[in-house]
Every structure is written in structure tokens, then in C-alpha cells.
Structure 1
């Protein structure tokens, strides 16, 4: 497409819609893009909050570890005389 084709296309669009209508379409399109970006940022924040909650549920707080107590042994005991 050459530059003359683009200019001709823009001229036809302006004649069909008019400059006022094109300005309104441009501002509406800009507002829609702005709202979409805000919505995407909100989704990322919600996702991060869910991940924090998942981590809290998956990793319980560390408590003091008590060594296991062995009551029975499988090895024979040596008795001292």
C-alpha cells in the first residue's frame, strides 16, 4: 500500500464519519484501553493476594522440633557383668 492509498482511505473515512464522530471514537477507544489496563492490574493484584494466601496455607509456621523417642530397639542389648 502506498502513501496515496492511505491518504485516500483516510479521506473516505473522514467523509463518511465526520471529524466530530472520529474524535469521539478516538476518545472512547482511549478510555476503553485505559479501563482494560486498570482491570489487568487489578487481576495481577488479586492473583498475588491469592498466591500469598496459598503460601500461608501450604507452609505452616515452623515449631520447635522434638527428636523422636525410641521405646523399642531392634538391636540386642549388651548387658555389662
Structure 2
């Protein structure tokens, strides 16, 4: 019940690819990156005030 083997990670990766497709994953990661940038900018704006 402790750690995952390589087979577990391959199965998880296959399920993620089936759910989201190859084209959706980069788009999703880009959206996450934009959210992080916006959050950092908001925090910096709060420091300046």
C-alpha cells in the first residue's frame, strides 16, 4: 500500500490520455501556468501597496 510501481504510473498516464486526449493536456497546462502568473502578479501588487 506504500509506493506505486512503474505499472501503476503507466496505467494512470494511459487513463489521463484517454480522458483528456493529447491536445488537451498542453492547453490545460498553459491555463494552469497563466493562473499561476496572475496569482504571482496579484501578490506582487499587494506588496507594492
**TM-score bin, normalised by smaller chain:** 0.7 to 0.9
**Structure 1 residue runs without a partner (length 5+):** 47-81
Output the aligned Cα RMSD: 0.9
Question: What residue is the counterpart of 1:8 in the other structure?
Answer: 11
Q: Higher helix fraction: Structure 1 or Structure 2?
A: 2
Give TM-score, length-normalised by structure 1. Answer: 0.53
Task: Tell me the distance in 2 between the aligned counterparts of 1:38 and 1:3.
Answer: 38
Q: Which runs of 4+ in 1 moved over 2 A?
A: none
Number of equivalent positions: 46
**Structure 2 residue runs without a partner (length 5+):** none
Give TM-score, length-normalised by structure 2. Answer: 0.83
